[in-house]
C-alpha cells in the first residue's frame, strides 16, 4: 500500500521531516525537507486525489534525487483517498468523507463548473472552504512556510496549468515543459484548487502538473508510465525564479 510505502520512507529518512496533520481517518500527512535550509523555499504536493496515488511514488523519487534550492515535499496529501482507490474503488478521488480536496480551497470556492455539494468520488466542494482536515493542514503548513512557489502533481494528461483568474507566471510552466515535454495550458471553469488558492490568495506563482499521457487509464500504477516526470522538481527549482528574486531585492 502506498501509505505504508511513504510511512516507511519517512521513518528511515535522515533529513528534516515532519507530520503536517492527519487525515480524517487518522493517517499521518508527511512532509520531507530537501535542499538548502536557507533562502527561499518551495512546496511540492502530490496525490491530492486518491486515484492519483502513483504521484506519491514520484514524490519519493523526487526526494531521492534531491534539490539544491530548499523546500518541502508532501508526497501523500490524501492518504485515505489513496487507500480507498487501492482497496475498494479504483476511481475514487475524494477524501474519506467524499469531499474533493482540490475543490475545498478558498479560491472562488463552489464556483467551478463541475462543483457539487453531493459527497462522492469526485467534485464535492465540502461544507465550507478548508472544511477537510487534509486541505486545512496543507493550507496551514503553506501559510507557515511562505513558499516562493508551489507545485502540485496530479495525473493525467501531459499538461501544465499555471494560470488562475488572469494571474500566474507562464515562465515556470515553460521550464517544467523543458524537463518533461508537457504542454503549458490555461484551464477555464475550475476553482477551489490548491494552485488556484496559492495564486489568488498568496499571490505566488503556482503550478499543476498532470503527469502521464492522457491515453493511460486511471489509476496509473507504474512509475515507469510517468518516467518523464522524474526530474521536474530538481530541474524546475534549479532554473526558475533566480533573476526575478534578485530584481525584487534590488
Residue closer to Zn ion, measured from CB, 53 or 109: 53
Residue closer to Zn ion, measured from CB, 49 or 195: 49
The minimum distance between CB 26 and Zn ion, in angstroms, equals 23
Does 57 participate in binding Zn ion (rule CB under 5 A)? no
Asked if residue 73 has a cis previous peptide bond (ω within 30° of 0), the answer is no
170: which residues sit within 8 A by CB, 6+ positions away?
Answer: 162, 163, 184
Q: Which residue is nearest to Zn ion (CB)?
A: 154
Alpha helices in the chain (DSSP H): 2-12, 54-65, 79-87, 133-145, 170-180, 194-197, 232-239, 242-249
The minimum distance between CB 81 and Zn ion, in angstroms, equals 10
The minimum distance between CB 14 and Zn ion, in angstroms, equals 31
Binding segment for Zn ion (CB under 5 A), chosen from 24-32, 49-57, 109-117, 175-183, is 49-57
Cα–Cα distance for residue pair 196/16, rounded to 1 Å: 28
C-alpha torsion sign, points 225, 155, 48, 239: positive
Does 154 participate in binding Zn ion (rule CB under 5 A)? yes
Cα–Cα distance for residue pair 58/37, rounded to 1 Å: 22
Applying CB under 5 A, what is the total number of residues that bind Zn ion?
A: 3
Cα–Cα distance for residue pair 83/111, rounded to 1 Å: 29
Strand segments (E) across 117-215: 149-155, 159-161, 163-164, 167-168, 183-185, 206-211
Q: Which of 49, 62, 156, 234 touches Zn ion (CB under 5 A)?
A: 49
Binding segment for Zn ion (CB under 5 A), chosen from 3-11, 116-124, 147-155, 211-219, is 147-155
Residue closer to Zn ion, measured from CB, 103 or 177: 103
Does 51 participate in binding Zn ion (rule CB under 5 A)? no
Binding segment for Zn ion (CB under 5 A), chosen from 42-50, 64-72, 112-120, 124-132, is 42-50
Binding segment for Zn ion (CB under 5 A), chosen from 30-38, 78-86, 134-142, 152-160, is 152-160
Q: How far is CA 193 from the centre of its chain?
A: 10
The minimum distance between CB 132 and Zn ion, in angstroms, equals 15
Which spans of this chain sit near Zn ion (rule: CB under 5 A)?
49, 52, 154
Amino acid at each position: 500500500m502506498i501509505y505504508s510505502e511513504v510511512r516507511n520512507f519517512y521513518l528511515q529518512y535522515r533529513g528534516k521531516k515532519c507530520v503536517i496533520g492527519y487525515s480524517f481517518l487518522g493517517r499521518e500527512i508527511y512532509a520531507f525537507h530537501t535542499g538548502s535550509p536557507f533562502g527561499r523555499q518551495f512546496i511540492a504536493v502530490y496525490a491530492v486525489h486518491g486515484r492519483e496515488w502513483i504521484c506519491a511514488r514520484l514524490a519519493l523519487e523526487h526526494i531521492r534525487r534531491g534539490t539544491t534550492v530548499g523546500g518541502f515535499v508532501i508526497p501523500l496529501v490524501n492518504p485515505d483517498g489513496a487507500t480507498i482507490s487501492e482497496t475498494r474503488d479504483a476511481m475514487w478521488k475524494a477524501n474519506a468523507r467524499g469531499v474533493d480536496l482540490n475543490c475545498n480551497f478558498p479560491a472562488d470556492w463552489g464556483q467551478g463548473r463541475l462543483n457539487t455539494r453531493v459527497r462522492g468520488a469526485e467534485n464535492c466542494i465540502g461544507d465550507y472552504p478548508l472544511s477537510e482536515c487534509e486541505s486545512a493542514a496543507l493550507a496551514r503548513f503553506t501559510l507557515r512556510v511562505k513558499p516562493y512557489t508551489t507545485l502540485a502533481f496530479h495525473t493525467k494528461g501531459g499538461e501544465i496549468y499555471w494560470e488562475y483568474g488572469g494571474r500566474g507566471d507562464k515562465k515556470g510552466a515553460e521550464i517544467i515543459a523543458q524537463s518533461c515535454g508537457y504542454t503549458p495550458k490555461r484551464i477555464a471553469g475550475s476553482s477551489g484548487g490548491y494552485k488556484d488558492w496559492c495564486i489568488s490568495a498568496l499571490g505566488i506563482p503556482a503550478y499543476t502538473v498532470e503527469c502521464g499521457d492522457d491515453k493511460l487509464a486511471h489509476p496509473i500504477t507504474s512509475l515507469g508510465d510517468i518516467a518523464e516526470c522524474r526530474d521536474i522538481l530538481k530541474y524546475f527549482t534549479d532554473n526558475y525564479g533566480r533573476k526575478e528574486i534578485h530584481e525584487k531585492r534590488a
